[in-house]
Amino acid sequence: MIDGGEMGATLIEGGRVGSVCVIGLSASVEERLAAMSSSERGVFAAGAAERLMSWHEALPEEDRAPFTMSLRPLLDSVWEGSLGDSTAFTAVKRGVAEYMLSEYCHNDGQDGPEDADENAAATTLYAAHAYLFESCDFAVWASRRAVDAVDEHLEHLAEREEDLTDLDEATIAELQRQLRDLDLIANYSKDLQLAILGLPNHTSIRRRVEPRPPFPAGTDQAESSVSCVVLLR
């Protein structure tokens, strides 16, 4: 397995080196997701969605997408369900059903509404599906969307004529953060494996949202770390 720290320590000397690092780190994230329990993957996907949603919510009001903003209650329910509240299953199921029955779920390609293709919206829906259906694919797609969002964020900074970091360097930082998230989630592996069944109140897993920026260092943010840390109470 590729060591995220070693790969991230490589100096970026041209696009080819950066691209090799990105490919290696991405493969490492996906290998680790495949080896995890579905409950652990659900927390990972929810964390990725939380970062993107928090960034979207911080945009000027005129730049926020109404459909994306409407998914905040669904994401909150995904968190509660992923961290041990079995009663959240109904709310997540209903939220996904509402999306499936809406105009935003379609097979019209570019001729249909693109609202659900916004990165925070898509990642939230992937997190909900990861919780409901336990498939590794949804967590992998959440990871990839978080990487896609780095490029989008750099474009946003360019429009504001702010200093930009290299795309490969920013992407590597995001993937490194994902590997650190996976390390932290693994610390709670035994508890999370039971979370889908529901946990009693005295052992229920709760989350603490830390006031950390949603994107990696070097893209107008402070040092990266997980946005949502699971704690036992």
pLDDT in tens, the chain (233 residues): 334 444 444 434 445 556 778 899 999 999 999 999 999 999 999 999 999 999 999 989 999 999 999 999 999 999 989 888 888 999 999 999 999 999 999 988 877 788 889 999 999 999 999 999 989 999 999 999 999 999 887 877 666 666 667 778 889 999 999 999 999 899 888 878 776 666 655 444 444 333 334 444 344 333 333 344 443 32
Helix 136-159 with 38-57: angle, nearest 10 deg:
20
Contact (CB, 8 A) for 146 and 178 = yes
Contact (CB, 8 A) for 80 and 42 = no
Q: Give the predicted TM-score (pTM) of the model.
A: 0.78
The tokens for 45 are 């996907």
Contact (CB, 8 A) for 48 and 182 = no
